[in-house]
A and B are shown apart, each in its own frame.
Chain A
């Protein structure tokens, strides 16, 4: 955790800046990250990072400037230096044609609801032991890859606009294991997530592999382009819904005519009435942040209710420019998709539906046309052809190119239970994010537009 000196240094400089009338937000971000990577049944990388970053954002009338440092942040002088750079940048900046909204920590907070010291201090050797067990019990003649990221994220926000201080520390982990057949080249994958030590279990991954290994002994099936009923797994559901929200429900894209939802207004039907999505920072399947990275307090926020468009996300700049109220969605979201009323087991759900493609996850999705809501991506791990709920054969790499309105509009069945899908990226600073989504979703008339003769 941040030592008192660092915290005191920020507060001291915050108070000095406030006295001088500077409008500034200070964000301290500290991560203690560990990542083990597996390739070819070996640990290919075992890395630890302990990094502290300080962001200073300054508003000077209609001018803004910001500065981020990572390095020795040992006392008030380094904070003062960062502030001085941000102040200077803001003073030279060109003014905007609207009044920026000042960042303010709405309420003081001290959050450690999802903090587990044991996970933060986890011995990397334990990770190697779990992977070894998976390899030995599933079959060391197969090829295993994976990554297991774990660690803690600590954020502290303070602005010159009041005396509040928002602080949160939490732990998170994201586990992936990929099994590849060295000759046949198919890939199965298992994902686990959580925030406490001991949550990731070798047994869960072994069980999920064993479920599909028998069917993967059969030859691959090439799916001819056309329309299919698709049984999406939770990873795919989270990806499609996440992209649909990102390209449909952002205020900036909506105001500026880019979103696929343009032309619709709150209350209008945009998706199947089976789809209800909220942002819920209290949901335990997600990583919970009581405040966002602009200092705003987060509450339950309806996005889509029974297929009807509810609320759009407005970041500070968009809200200021278009005269809207900003919404607290800077940083980690807690997307929660309501469960449906389908049967417990996904295979039961597609009984009697004839030919169905089971696509648990999508690889490399992108948006060829945001205005029309078209997305494209291909099947990768663990995809299987089903006939009346029975597994028939694994399927080769197949591409879906379709619209959100169609895939999330023609939802036939949703699982009655939800699961946590970890969507954290390791691109930039650690910022855990997870969605709670139904365990499966059956959509009809999904367009397969290309397929390969290999996995």
Chain B
């Protein structure tokens, strides 16, 4: 399948669907959806894989209901439109609230991820030499397991819809992780890891992967912390402050701000799988989500992030706006059909326009409401040292080992790799097996310190799962260091 040969059949397919009574139709063609995965495990290249997908996905709204069809065969393009329309007609047999995309002006545009050196153009031998070099630096007598992971994505796609929009995008993502592991004195496996992050600015090609400040320069620090974990006592059960470094804070934000603020979850479209949300349409402009130190944005005009992609998968330009303003919930992650349903259900205009958050992971998956970048804005409570100095009794936590969240995102339990105990404003020792749990609104209400810009980084998430058929999406979170008071930590014996 080639895009030059598709323009006409796609235009004809959209016209046929609209003439047949469709309310909206769009098509996405991926000439390339490629990935490469390299995993060194104890120095052995255990994964050396690549994949290539190409094809066309068609979405038709008919009678207020969605039909979707996809094909990777050039001969089936016309049939894909017929199938999507037929699927939509079947879906329209059972409709209580007809979905509506509204009519928007046509958008023509293009977006390319900022890249200096395309990692797919870097010879495999060079990539392996770089990863092998990092693996060497992870070695130490006491280190029992070493993992170095690289996952690259490159997507080239074209989008057409019945508004007359036409968008071309070239997206590129680099994800990387490294980890060291060893058994402690109790025979329990401990680990320290570091993922490739971005400063939010700059470019996201091979140059990002090889920048030691963003990932690979942490090898010595990881080993040192692992060695401390091997003789550390366990974090004991009790209430205390927790300070989340971005390595942990981003997942806290992802699970308990990002997901509950997806409008399809709020409206109940994820109940059969991922769950709902404690947020309701009445919450906007009213609900106190956290202390007044909490301000959260969507997209945030972050230039270097997997959650920055120019246009969403229904032709809406990505939009920078506040989700939470000084603790008050003001907006959420939205798509066109969801805002029209929300406004209809609420009987008033809750949302003005789509947040540009309708995303799909592949040509063969229909778009759903996703996170873009969900960012906590930097605060005024100084740098990490200042926040530690202002903490009487707490723990500083980094990197998740486990995460389990209530179905409406109302409560959560996290396990982390490492805790540093803080007493009287000073770090006193390392503690192992840290866990903490809480209830979302109470927890964010106890947000007592937010680090300044020096503590803020964009953590990359390559694997957010949602939807049926499930879609694994890439997302970013710009987060500073955050402190929460009076949190239950550890497990009761």
Chain A residues engaging chain B, CB cutoff 8 angstroms: 33, 35-52, 63-72, 85, 89-90, 92-94, 96-98, 123-125, 128-129, 131-132, 135, 143, 145-147, 149, 176-178, 180, 185, 187, 225, 256-258, 262-263, 317, 321, 363-372, 374, 376-378, 380, 397, 399, 401, 425-427, 449-450, 452, 454-455
Contacts of A51 in B (CB 8 A): 70, 72, 364
A432 → B minimal CB distance (Å): 13
Kindly list 10 other residue pairs between chains A and B, CB separation below 8 angstroms, not including A35-B469, A149-B468, A378-B411. Answer: A40-B268, A43-B95, A51-B70, A67-B50, A70-B52, A135-B94, A366-B403, A368-B415, A380-B275, A455-B408
Least distance between B398 CB and chain A CB atoms (Å): 15
- With CB as the reference atom, state the residue of chain A lying closest to B362: A70
In the complex the two chains form, is B437's CB within 8 Å of A48's CB?
no
Closest to B55 in A: A71
B199 contacts the other chain (CB 8 A):
no
24 A–B contact pairs at CB < 8 A?
A39-B268, A39-B271, A44-B65, A45-B66, A46-B68, A46-B88, A47-B67, A47-B469, A48-B87, A89-B49, A89-B50, A124-B87, A128-B90, A364-B404, A364-B406, A366-B402, A366-B403, A369-B188, A369-B433, A371-B187, A397-B410, A401-B413, A425-B470, A452-B406
A143-B268, A427-B470 given; A71·B275 CB < 8 A: no
B residues less than 8 Å from A364 (CB atoms)? 275, 404-407
Judge if B74 is at the interface, Cβ distance under 8 Å: yes
Residues from chain A with a CB closer than 8 A to the CB of B258 are none
Which B residues are in CB contact (< 8 Å) with A40? 96-97, 267-269
Shortest Cβ distance from B341 into A: residue: A40
Within 8 A of A (CB), among B120-144: 123-125, 128, 132, 144
**A38 and B272 contacting across the interface, CB-CB below 8 Å:** yes
Contact A46 B66 (CB under 8 A): yes
A64 to B, closest residue via Cβ:
B48
Cα(A452)–Cα(B67), bound, Å: 38
Q: What separation, in Å, do the CA atoms of A138 and B472 have in the docked complex?
A: 34
Closest chain B residue to A451, Cβ basis = B411
Q: A48-B87, A426-B470 are in contact. Are A72 and B46 (CB under 8 A)?
A: no
Closest 7 CB pairs of A and B: A368-B415, A43-B91, A371-B188, A39-B269, A145-B271, A426-B469, A47-B68
Query: Could you tell me if B45 and A94 are in contact, using CB atoms closer than 8 angstroms?
Result: yes
B73 at the interface (CB under 8 A from A): yes
CB of B93 within 8 A of CB of A125, answer: yes
* Among B54, B187, B269, B437, contact of A44 (Cβ-Cβ < 8 Å): B269
**Inter-chain contact B83/A48, CB cutoff 8 Å:** yes
Question: Which of B74, B123, B468 gathers most chain A CB within 10 Å?
Answer: B468
A367 touches B402 (CB 8 A): yes
B273 / chain A contacts, CB cutoff of 8 Å: 147, 176
- Please state if A94 and B49 are interface contacts (CB–CB under 8 Å): no
Distance between Cα atoms of A353 and B364 in the complex (Å): 51
> Are B51 and A37 interface neighbours, CB within 8 A?
no
Provide the bound-state CA to CA distance between A40 and B69, in Å: 22
Residues of A within 8 A of B189 (CB): 256-258, 370-371
Contacts of A63 in B (CB 8 A): 45
In the docked arrangement, what's the CA distance between A215 and B93, Å?
A: 32
Docked-complex contact B145 and A256, CB < 8 angstroms:
yes
CB A33 to nearest CB in B, in angstroms, measures: 7
**Structural contact, A454 and B83, CB atoms closer than 8 A:** no
Question: Inside 8 A of B1's CB, which chain A residues have their CB?
Answer: 71-72
A256 close to B404 (CB less than 8 A)? no
Residues of B within 8 A of A70 (CB): 51-55, 72
Option from A85, A125, A366 in Cβ contact (under 8 Å) with B90: A125
- Shortest Cβ distance from residue B134 to the other chain A in the assembled complex, whole angstroms: 13
Residues of A with C-beta under 8 A to B55? 70-71
Q: Are B405 and A65 in contact (CB under 8 A)?
A: no
Interface assignment of B492: CB less than 8 Å from any CB of chain A: yes
Of B49, B404, B465, which one neighbours A378 at CB under 8 angstroms?
B404
Inter-chain contact B87/A92, CB cutoff 8 Å: no
Q: Are B72 and A454 in touch, CB under 8 angstroms?
A: no
Whether A96 contacts B45 in the complex (CB less than 8 A), given A145-B271, A363-B406, A380-B407, comes out as yes
Chain B contacts of A369 at CB under 8 A?
A: 188, 401-402, 415, 433
Taking a contact as CB atoms under 8 Å apart, the answer to whether A376 and B411 are in contact is: no
Tell me the bound Cα distance from A264 to B415 in angstroms: 25
Shortest beta-carbon distance, A190 to chain B, in Å?
11
- Chain B residues near A426 (CB-CB < 8 A): 468-470
Assuming the contacts A70-B53, A371-B188, A401-B413, asked whether A43 and B469 have C-beta atoms less than 8 A apart, the reply is no
The yes or no answer to B390 lying at the interface (CB within 8 A) is no
B73 contacts across to A, CB distance below 8 A = 72
How near does chain A come to B405, taking the closest CB pair, in angstroms? 5
Contacts of A69 in B (CB 8 A): 51-53
* CB <8 Å contact, A42 and B49: no
Which one, A47, A71, A147, contacts B69 given CB within 8 A?
A: A47
Q: Judging by beta carbons under 8 Å apart, are A92 and B128 in contact?
A: yes
> Quick check: A46 and B271 within 8 Å, CB to CB?
no
Instruction: For residue A395, give the distance in angstroms from its CB to the closest CB of chain B.
Output: 13
Tell me, rounded to whole Å, the shortest Cβ–Cβ distance linking A56 to chain B.
Answer: 10
Complex contact B411–A45 (CB within 8 A):
no
Q: Are B48 and A128 in contact (CB under 8 A)?
A: no
B435 within 8 A of A: yes
Assess the A452–B439 pair: CB atoms within 8 A.
Answer: yes
Q: Contacts of A363 on B, CB cut-off 8 Å?
A: 275, 406-407
Counting CB contacts under 8 A, is B44 at the interface? yes
In the assembled complex, the Cα of A425 lies from the Cα of B5 at a distance in Å of 35
Q: How far is the CB of A402 from chain B (nearest CB, A)?
A: 10
Set of chain B residues within 8 Å of A145, measured between Cβ atoms: 268-269, 271-272
CB-nearest residue of chain A relative to B46? A317
- Closest residue of B by beta carbon distance from A402: B491
* Residues of chain B with a CB closer than 8 A to A450's CB: 411, 413, 437, 488
Q: Which residues of B contact A452 (CB under 8 A)?
A: 406, 410-411, 439
Which residues of A have CB within 8 Å of B54?
70-72
Least Cβ distance of A25 to chain B in Å?
Answer: 13
- Assess A399 versus B411: contact at CB under 8 Å? Given A368-B435, A449-B437, A454-B278: yes
Residue from the list A96, A147, A374, A449 in contact with B44, Cβ < 8 A: A96
Known: A67-B51, A256-B145. A449 touches B491 (CB 8 A): yes
Say whether, besides A51-B364, A363-B406, A426-B468, A131 and B94 are in contact (CB < 8 Å).
Answer: yes
Known: A67-B51, A94-B45, A225-B492. A128 touches B93 (CB 8 A): yes
* Pick from A50, A90, A131, A147: contact of B71, CB under 8 Å: A50
